[in-house]
Amino acid sequence: MSYKRQYSQQTNPAAPFLNVTITDTNTDNSLDVESLVDSGADYCMIPRGVAEQLKLVAHNLWQTNDYQNVSTGYRAVYRVRISFWQLAFNIDMVETDGIAIIGRDVLNRFTTTLHGRQTQLEIK
């Protein structure tokens, strides 16, 4: 079984996004969020606005680093359930001021292929 999705044309250049349902594991409140598939990100990120809408309560703080491994401070961490396609996982997501990101903590559970020329994401 595999899941295929065309890259989003809303970015330039086109980029792989997943429509992910993020659910508060305590209340079952959820939101659908377009999330960038980023194989360079160590872990998944949740926008601050989404965490606020879901009224999530942080259970930890993580020190975050930029691409050069320079500390960028501490960020709230939320325990949530994410689901897409036929898959669901309880994971920690780190708060960001940017967009939602699906990182390697989830992507490494699969074979994730970015077909650049066809602008298509495939997950097996």
CA 51/CA 58 separation, integer angstroms: 9
In tens, the pLDDT along 11-22 reads: 999 999 999 999
Share of the chain above pLDDT 70, in %: 100
pTM, 2 dp: 0.90
pLDDT band at 65 (very low <50, low <70, confident <90, very high): confident
Q: What is the pLDDT of residue 72?
A: 86
| 91 Rama class: left (phi>0) / alpha (psi -120 to 50) / beta | beta
Q: How far is CA 93 from CA 11, 14, 48, in A?
A: 23, 24, 11
Model confidence at 67: pLDDT above 90: no
At 101-122, the pLDDT tens digits run: 999 999 999 999 999 999 999 9
